[in-house]
Structure 1
Amino acid sequence: MIKIVSIAALAVAVSSCASIDTLLDKTKSTGAMTDTTTSINAEKGLVTLQSNHSVKDTADKLVSVIESKGMKVFARVDHQKNAQSADLSLRPTQVVMFGNPKAGTPLMNCEQTVAIDLPQKILISEDADKKVWLSYNNPDYLKTRHNIKGCDTEIANISKALNAISTAAIAK
């Protein structure tokens, strides 16, 4: 029974995200989104935006925006630098971990397992074509993953906050 409910919830999430992908594809083809590309990958539960800045500059700007909003940056992981310290190569890749107890605690009170996905994390990475991407967990995906009930307002507020700080970080 639990598997059937989980599969049904996933199907709803996938279908709602698929319609967003379709809308975004239409927007891209009309040229309405010239500065950035945005996608929601339902399978991975990620929201991804294209940045016109380097990984370092995007991450610097992101940290600045996060701190200006009164949130705390817990860590900034430079995976490329860590790879180099082991004599390995990796394209520029950074993760910024941040949060605000006023946003995360209510989610954990609804479903404590969401704590495994907190604090929030944003990945900034450069692909093989030298394009820079900013990605974060879609809060609706976390809602489904952790079967969070009764926290729709909190999920919506976190979605708005993640969108706002991400958009600010990639802005010109």
Structure 2
Amino acid sequence: MKGMTVFARINHAEGAQKVGKKLRPTELIIFGNPRVGTPLMQCAQSVGIDLPQKALIWEDEKGQVWLFYNDPEYLADRHGIKGCDEVIKKIANALGNFARTAAVQ
């Protein structure tokens, strides 16, 4: 993830196995870039509860792999962010690029 720092990877399937449960591959990646996240927190500091950004990657029962993350518009609505459209757009573009890159790997 160019320009992003991966802060943590949480393997939920591994955790499930440790307690005797089965779970298809499911991993949470916590990542971010202060150059992107800081301007968003300057718009609304409460968004810090949702940062760094997270992506959940899992395999369904058919073997298809999925990637989910919180849409920046959702974060803007959740935290009442107004007047920061450029910041939201920049984050949306960065996440879109991340998802496209992950999809081709």
TM-score, normalization: structure 2? 0.95
**2:59 corresponding residue in structure 1:** 126
Higher helix share: 1
Mark the structure with the bigger radius of gyration. 1
RMSD: 1.0
**2:99 corresponding residue in structure 1:** 166
1:132-158: CA deviation from partner (whole Å, max 9, x where unpaired)? 101111101111111111211010000
Higher relative contact order (CA 8 A, sep 6+): 1
Percent sequence identity over matched residues?
53
Which consecutive residues of structure 1, in runs of 5 or more, have no partner in the other structure? 1-65
Which consecutive residues of structure 2, in runs of 5 or more, have no partner in the other structure? none
Counterparts of 1:78 and 1:113, CA distance in 2: 27
**1:102 corresponding residue in structure 2:** 35
Are 1:139 and 2:91 counterparts?
no
Are 1:91 and 2:24 counterparts?
yes
Instruction: Give the C-alpha shift of residue 70 in structure 1.
Output: 2.3
Instruction: Give the C-alpha shift of residue 115 in structure 1.
Output: 0.7
TM-score, normalization: structure 1? 0.59
**2:8 corresponding residue in structure 1:** 75
